[in-house]
Structure 1
Amino acid sequence: MRIEYTYGKRKIEAEILYSNRKTIDLRVFPQGHVIITAPEDTPIETILNKVKPKSKWVISQIRTFELYRPFTKERLYIPGETHRYLGRQYKLVINKIDRGKTELKLNRGLFSITTASDNVEIIINKFYKAKANVVFTELLDKLLVEFPQFKNYDISLSHRFMKKRWGSCSMDGKIILNTELIKASKACVEYVILHELCHLIHPNHSKEFYKELSTILPNWEKLKLKLEKDLA
């Protein structure tokens, strides 16, 4: 359930999650999400009366996190532009040829493409998709060994480019990752995979969900912040 209210000239939007907890909890996450966890059947008026006095703190937290979201220019796919792969930045080098097979190499900080095609964006995205197929599967297999509590679930993994989320998980074990994650470090990708795996146990972002995530990955908040900063 989502609510919104104003504090001064600022509109605050929040998501309410109900659980069997006894008190109302208010959290602001690096992506700017405001999550309120409340006891079941708590009236909206009671929740608002509890969280509104903390509005100044909420806005302060949101502004602090916004400082870690640098503006990223639209990709132009031109020589000299930087592109990420597994947490590292590479400078794009384009070698045009009249004919022949496209070749792509990452070496010494250079993202070198030799091609007769004019559509460098398609070449790079094809590279990302191919690498994501391998890397994401390898990381999932590694995590299932480290955390055997998830082995009892029938898990399938796929990926696609998404604009608004890093991943999703359905209750039948289908995990979908954002292909963009191939640009992030493996540690950040593992965080997203573990986040989605935890949803197999706790479907919602409840207190129990974050307790589970914190138990298996104590530094998840730092990894989340790094991910949002690096791929903003």
Structure 2
Amino acid sequence: MMEKALPSEALYFYYGNEKISFTLNAGSSLTDKIRITVKPCGSVAVSAPLQAGNDAVLSAIKKRARWIYRQQQSFLAQNSAIAPRLYISGESHFYLGKRYLLKVVETADERQGVKLLRGRLQVSVRQKDSEKVQALLNEWYKTRAKEVFAMRLETLLVQTFWINQAPPIRLQTMQTQWGNCSPQGRLTLNPNLIKAPRECIDYVILHELCHLAEHNHSPRFYRLMAQVLPGWQSVKHRLDNMAAQILASH
């Protein structure tokens, strides 16, 4: 049973007693099909052509309600199986798509901070404390994210003929998004994206740059994506599959 009228940014339905929320993007399909996607984080996105009516969208969701629920439960089980971070030596943490062993060094001489040394993420602290290690590591990730995102944006602008100057970048930790853009042209990127491979970073930046030309997920938007990043679907799939592991190291 639908609780709100379509279209809306936040909708939900019930599978048994389970309330399942989803977002609807009208006009985001290149075909006449209604597409339903369950992301590794558990969120549900429905894409429908503009000509699809509310009844058709609701019918498609109801037909796949069981599959949606099972997908969510499967991702939930996978995510819960990932051990929580303790921020102690021996753990592995992602950076640019690669795993690095964490080494926590207690020192009274060195400045507290993080260094990437010989395949390890070395965190120097006055006293071993997981919260301090986490704070230093998060700050290092944000610093690297600012530098890498800015460099990748400058490189990728060559491919985006519709942009005259580099848009400003803002970092914001988000639970279900890698990035978004404002109507004013500012890009907001999730600093955790720095843990993903460079091609995935490029995909997210290009995705948002395409939104500067076409704000909705329209056929024109996807034509631009295919032009600037052929085969972007496989890159998106790779990022989606890594999401749980990447965010678990947050």
Shorter chain as normaliser: what TM range?
0.7 to 0.9
* 2:248 equivalent in structure 1: none
Indicate how the Cα distance of structure 1 residues 10 and 178 shifts in structure 2: closer, same or farther if over 3 A, else same: same
For 2:236, what is the secondary structure of its paired residue?
helix
**TM-score (ref. length: structure 2):** 0.75
Superposed counterparts of 1:29-178, under 5 Å:
30-31=39-40, 32-40=43-51, 43-49=53-59, 52-55=62-65, 71-102=81-112, 104-118=114-128, 119-145=132-158, 147-152=159-164, 155-178=167-190
Pairs aligned (count): 230
* Residues 24 and 47, structure 1, Cα contact 8 Å, conserved in 2: no
In structure 2, what is the Cα distance between the partners aligned to 1:207 and 1:97? 56
Q: Report whether the alignment pairs 1:25 with 2:34.
A: yes
**TM-score (ref. length: structure 1):** 0.81
* 2:4 equivalent in structure 1: none
**How far does residue 212 in structure 1 lie from its aligned partner after superposition?**
2.8
- Unaligned 5+ residue runs, structure 2? 1-7, 245-250
User: What amino acid does structure 1 have at the position aligned with 2:23?
Assistant: E
Higher strand share: 1
**How far does residue 54 in structure 1 lie from its aligned partner after superposition?**
4.9
Indicate how the Cα distance of structure 1 residues 7 and 160 shifts in structure 2: closer, same or farther if over 3 A, else same: closer
* Residues 116-161 of structure 1: per-residue CA shift (max 9 Å, x gap): 254212221221121111111000000001x132423661112132
* Residues 182-228 of structure 1: per-residue CA shift (max 9 Å, x gap): 11111111111111111112212334433432332233232223223
In structure 1, what is the Cα distance between the partners aligned to 2:63 and 2:176? 30
* Residues 155 and 174, structure 1, Cα contact 8 Å, conserved in 2: yes
* 2:5 equivalent in structure 1: none
**How far does residue 27 in structure 1 lie from its aligned partner after superposition?**
3.6
In structure 2, what is the Cα distance between the partners aligned to 1:7 and 1:74? 30
* Residues 102 and 115, structure 1, Cα contact 8 Å, conserved in 2: yes
Query: Could you tell me the percent identity over the aligned residues?
Result: 31
Indicate how the Cα distance of structure 1 residues 16 and 108 shifts in structure 2: closer, same or farther if over 3 A, else same: same
* 1:226 equivalent in structure 2: 238
In structure 2, what is the Cα distance between the partners aligned to 1:120 and 1:20? 42
**How far does residue 78 in structure 1 lie from its aligned partner after superposition?**
0.9
